[in-house]
Structure 1
Amino acid sequence: MRKFFLFSIISTVFLFVCCKNDSANNGNIYIGGKIVNPNTNYVIISKDQEPIDTIQLNEDNQFGKYLPKLDAGIYTFQHNPENQVVYLEPGDSIIVWVNTYDFDQSLNFSGRGSKESSFLLDLFLRNRANNNLVLDYYKIKPKAFKKISDSIHKTRMAEFNKNVEGHDLSENFLELAKQSIDYEFYDLRERYTYLIKKYHSDFTDLIPEDFNNYRDSIDFDNELLQNYYVYTNTIDDYLRTRAIEHCIEKHKERDCYNISNFENVKRRASLIDSLSNTPAIKNKFLDILLSKAVTMASNEEDLNEVLDFAKKIKYSDIDEINELADIQTNYFTGKSIADFTIRNSNGEEITYKDAINRKTIVYFWSANNSRRYLWQFQTIQNLREKYPELDFIGINLDIGQHKKWLRVMDENNYDKSNQYQLSNRAFGENVATKYLYRINFLDKNAVIVKGDEALSTSAEFESKLLEFINN
């Protein structure tokens, strides 16, 4: 029944948007469809984080437009705050149907050229499931996990080869798809390596000699996949693990698993700076890492160390980092944020001193990152039960998305009494989200006691909570 209903909607949309002269699609790309329960009245098509076109929805929440001649490759289909990748080639005519209440699961592609985007969506959903798989299996011995990951890779490739038989797919897409499957496999191994080293160090000596041989195949200048999350996740996890391995080798006495401290961030930034010669790839990671180092800086000395390092490697967006550094001076240890404004669930603007009356942990989250906020809320709920001496309040960073923020809380039955949203400030949303991984330890007067921490389920993090409680 649902398939018939969906087909009817897609057919209606297709007739609506394609009744124009089809000759207009000579080498161009057509994209249209319908958004059920829209968050905004438009969709955005972008590439390399740069918008290509903004397409308005009509009164029936339908949209459609011919795009100018574009190169074949991965693009982003965005309906704020959600997005997903699509694969487009000249001559394609893609119809999109999606319900925002379950964006990724409901997303459906049809029309000429849709098989490629459907493949990438399926890979995304499988990859998301693999996140849970790694957490389930990292406790098993390396030799057993090697067999499991080899089997997954072999099955994926066999399914792909079977599905592409008889379909006229471009060499560009076939190469992209094969590499995507490979990088999914690399990332499985990389995440397992990290978890073993952190939580089961007794298994480290059991890791087969060839377990990480895939690292020699990682291409840090892969322009074909540079905007694809499977590829970027792999590099991100590789940099994390390699930085930890370097620390263990050189500084056995140090806590090498605090991936938020500057030495760890600096090592990852140095690695990507030396490994990649492609500015778009290198700068993507440097922006994330250097921004994180700035937002975790607790004092002027730490901040200057980050800025000096950025200058040393000749970071291209140094002006943006300097701007972020100016903002960060308001969040050093010992600074009061009592008079900074936030917005409650009724839309009323209040200050931190109105919301805080005892020792409090402040965490930040975004509705645009569902995987993270689901983990954050579960982690915070566990901590709230274990440490009733502390208050925990969440600050949503999605400035201007009040309805979306409320909807996420309603859908997940979150207690709104300890939830607030960032109110409009002098800096924009792009700057606000740089603080996604920061935790603030505040005293009863909303003075920052500690701010260079990231939320964690580790025993080390909980020991810092106990120290905060007892001091």
Structure 2
Amino acid sequence: MERSLYMVRLLLGLTILSIISCSEKSETQTSIYFGGEIVNPTSDYVVLYHNDVFVDSVKLDDNNRFAFNLDNIEEGLYHFDHAPELQYVYLEEGDSLIARLNTVEFDESLVFSGKGSEINNFLIEMFLDYEMEEPLIEDFYELDASEFSIKVDSLRNIKVERLKDLAEEYEFSDRVLAMAEASIDYNSFISKEKYPFYHKKKLGEDTFHNIPDSFFAYRKQIDLKNKDLTYFRPYFDFMKWHFGNISYMTCLENCATENQPVNDRLHFNKHKLALVDSLVQQPELRDILFRNIAVDYLLKEHNPSAESRMFIDKFRALSSNDEHKEEIDLLYRGIENLQPNTTLPNILLLDANNKEVSIKEVANGKKHTVFYFWTAAQKKHFRNVNKHITELEQKYPQYNFVGINLRTSYPQWKLLVEEYKLDTSKQFYGENFKEIQMAMVIDALNKCVIAKDSVIVNGFADLYKSL
């Protein structure tokens, strides 16, 4: 992203300094102040989390402003949730931080001002930069390893210089600087972890190219002990790719026959569990990696088999997180309950009149019902799926296509149904996202469940592939 855009965003922050003057609290009253204004709110509340733990929630006032006064909280990375959107905020002692955003373009419009704004504006800039660069990097994957590395390193170096300039202007603590550096490094490292697989796919080849060890020199910089980074998305996404890659390559080298990897998901995922167990000592990182491996295995397996139970037993022996263990058990039961010829789960939905209706009632008496899922947070998907459903309804008039909305406020859902002129008899609101996610095993944007009357025909269908 151009430096001029960076300056525009900083200048935009100056327009809301008036909010600070009427909202700022003295340090004798609170150690950290975090407030702001939300234009076009989609929920009545802003909810603050540290890692995955709830910290506090506040209701928007009549001017769509919010304010957190936080005492005795740990310095570090938090995220604030204004359903259905969320974004990071870094908080440290003495901050008086103001955020302003418009939910129409949540991430693009977000700007911080006040004490603590420099690191937070930098983090959102890095998020947007890498989002913008994705199509560019996608084209780089066809290059050889040396050329690819030069291109990716060049993009990274631009950001490193930007941070260097910022650090000279503002006095960052070591922890803040480490977070800023991580926002640059791990997104760049992800691209390199992807390279061997994407390069092979781009060239349409069956085997991996020999890649020099120097290409992976960045792996020496990996920090497996920094607790501050555990729940930072670029860091965790990198870890998923990294351990998946090492497991795959190790298995290809030691377990393969005729240079072909073992085609056994249980075998491969047990490799991943063992690798994380041997290399990662930081407890929270260990546990969320174990959880991710278990979720990934079960969602792709879709089969309540003896092998799946064996894998879950291995996961349970390694994990120290009881909530994760319960979640994996729920997921496994959800998979069991979505097998063919089982009845639909007992899920309650809301209709356009705010009346509760069970999912079985919706499907009852219908020859075939296709349940699909959407959220206001994925605007492009929402538009695409509406167009696709219209085409499917014409192609399969004997099917009943029913949309279930998730992670959107009820008023916003009603407005979208009205704006897009959707059939209210075929649109329902899912209030309890976690319950529906587990019961219907929602693992992809295009996931759908096909039922005949209230009996499941295909619990793991895809809107674009199964019809």
Q: Which of the five TM-score ranges fits, normalised by the shorter chain?
A: 0.7 to 0.9
1:193 maps to a residue whose letter is P
Q: Secondary structure of 2:54's partner?
A: strand
Match of 2:363 in 1: 353
CA distance in 2, matches of 1:304, 1:228: 31
Tell me which of 30, 33, 38 is aligned to 2:36: 33
Q: Structure 1 unaligned runs (5+)? A: none
Match of 1:334 in 2: 341
2:69 maps to a residue whose letter is Y
CA distance in 2, matches of 1:254, 1:374: 41
Offset of residue 394 of structure 1: 7.1
Which residues of 2 match residues 87-166 of structure 1 at below 5 A? 87-166=90-169
Which residues of 2 match residues 389-468 of structure 1 at below 5 A? 396=404, 398=406, 401-405=409-413, 420-421=427-428, 423=430, 428=435, 431=438, 435-437=442-444, 439=447, 442=450, 444-445=452-453, 447-451=455-459, 465=466
1:215 maps to a residue whose letter is R
1:319 maps to a residue whose letter is E
| 8 Å CA contact 1:393, 1:418 repeated in 2 | no
Q: CA RMSD in A?
A: 4.2
Tell me which of 233, 241, 244 is aligned to 1:240: 244
The alignment-based identity, stated in percent, is: 24
Q: Classify 1:423/1:165 alpha carbon distance in 2 versus 1 (closer, same or farther; 3 Å).
A: closer
Match of 2:72 in 1: 69
Match of 1:211 in 2: 215
Q: Classify 1:341/1:446 alpha carbon distance in 2 versus 1 (closer, same or farther; 3 Å).
A: same
CA distance in 2, matches of 1:178, 1:102: 26
Confirm whether residue 222 of structure 1 aligns to residue 226 of structure 2: yes
Match of 1:301 in 2: 306
| 8 Å CA contact 1:340, 1:352 repeated in 2 | no
Confirm whether residue 17 of structure 1 aligns to residue 23 of structure 2: yes
Offset of residue 91 of structure 1: 1.1
Q: How many residues align?
A: 449
Offset of residue 114 of structure 1: 0.6
Q: Secondary structure of 2:312's partner?
A: helix
Match of 1:280 in 2: 284
Q: Secondary structure of 1:224's partner?
A: helix
CA distance in 2, matches of 1:62, 1:236: 37
| 8 Å CA contact 1:72, 1:89 repeated in 2 | yes
| 8 Å CA contact 1:265, 1:289 repeated in 2 | yes
| 8 Å CA contact 2:159, 2:184 repeated in 1 | yes
Q: Secondary structure of 1:139's partner?
A: coil
Q: Classify 1:198/1:301 alpha carbon distance in 2 versus 1 (closer, same or farther; 3 Å).
A: farther
| 8 Å CA contact 1:141, 1:206 repeated in 2 | no
| 8 Å CA contact 1:35, 1:100 repeated in 2 | yes
Match of 2:293 in 1: 289
CA distance in 1, matches of 2:69, 2:321: 35
Match of 2:328 in 1: 321
Q: Classify 1:90/1:151 alpha carbon distance in 2 versus 1 (closer, same or farther; 3 Å).
A: same
Offset of residue 325 of structure 1: 3.2
CA distance in 2, matches of 1:432, 1:221: 35
Q: Classify 1:277/1:398 alpha carbon distance in 2 versus 1 (closer, same or farther; 3 Å).
A: same
| 8 Å CA contact 1:31, 1:66 repeated in 2 | yes
Alignment deviations for residues 244-285 of structure 1 (CA, whole Å, 9 cap, x no partner): 4355553569997999x5555544444333332122112223
CA distance in 1, matches of 2:309, 2:235: 32
Offset of residue 448 of structure 1: 4.0
CA distance in 1, matches of 2:142, 2:353: 45
| 8 Å CA contact 2:374, 2:404 repeated in 1 | yes
CA distance in 2, matches of 1:68, 1:407: 38
Tell me which of 188, 193, 197 is aligned to 2:196: 193
2:20 maps to a residue whose letter is F
Alignment deviations for residues 208-260 of structure 1 (CA, whole Å, 9 cap, x no partner): 4422232343233321311211101111222333344355553569997999x
CA distance in 2, matches of 1:266, 1:420: 41
1:16 maps to a residue whose letter is C
Give the TM-score taking structure 1 as reference length. 0.78
1:353 maps to a residue whose letter is A
Q: Classify 1:101/1:419 alpha carbon distance in 2 versus 1 (closer, same or farther; 3 Å).
A: farther
Offset of residue 133 of structure 1: 2.8
Give the TM-score taking structure 2 as reference length. 0.79
